Amino acid sequence: MTTYDRISRLNHWLTALLFVAMLGFGYFLAYGGLALPEKLPLLNNHKAMGVLLLILALWRVGYRMIQGFAEPVGALPAWQERASTVSHKVLLACVLLMPVSGLTLAVFSGIPTNVFGLFTIPAVEKVDAMVIGARMAHKIVAYLLTITLAVHIAAALKHHLVDQDRTLLRMLKG
């Protein structure tokens, strides 16, 4: 495969937009200094949005697993080819693990997740060890995604501006 089809491009940019927004939303909830009464309705929206993103994530990662990745645009040094494969796999893993860890946290926190009045994901009675583990996983995966994303965006810009190849263009236009 030499480029990304329309579905892949739509999947990529839709996920990119929504996941960056969710990361910002999550960090604001965690470090924005909100009092609990202000925080709770926002947290409910974060959880509901996250559940919908799990559906998008399953589709997006499944589609890539079936189709495979496109080959590099031109000949790359071996380390760059390796770095690109590894970082794309890490990004896809984070796309799945973010909502999965969030949902695990929600289910074991004892509070059901109402998804915009469409349906509700029930919770079990609170299990402290699971809450601590899932909260830690949600945080660590968020940091991993943020750092990998910074490298990913820098690499995309380097391909476009320094190497002046079609790496960014093929994700935009095919």
Binding interface with ligand HEM (CB under 6 A): 8, 12, 15-16, 19-20, 22-23, 26-27, 29-30, 43, 46-47, 50-51, 53, 64, 69-70, 84, 88, 91-92, 95, 98-99, 102-103, 105-106, 113, 135, 138-139, 142, 149, 152-153, 156, 167-168, 170-171
Nearer to ligand HEM, 130 or 168 (CB): 168
174 by DSSP, 3-state: which? coil
Based on CB atoms, which residue is closest to ligand HEM, 16 or 58? 16
The CB-of-38 to ligand HEM minimum distance in angstroms stands at: 14
Least Cβ distance, residue 164 to ligand HEM (angstroms)? 13
Minimum CB distance to ligand HEM, residue 142 (Å): 4
Residue type, 44: N
Residue holding tokens 């939303």? 25
Burial of 36-73, coded b for 16+ CB within 10 Å and e otherwise, reads eeebeeebeebbbbbbebbebbeebbeebeeeeeeeeb
Q: How far is the CB of 81 from ligand HEM (least distance, A)?
A: 10
The DSSP result for 50-110, as a single string, is HHHHHHHHHHHHHHHHHH-PPPPSS---HHHHHHHHHHHHHHHHHHHHHHHHHHHHHHHTT
- The structure tokens listed for 53 are 């993103």
Query: Which residue's beta carbon is nearest to the bound ligand HEM?
Result: 26
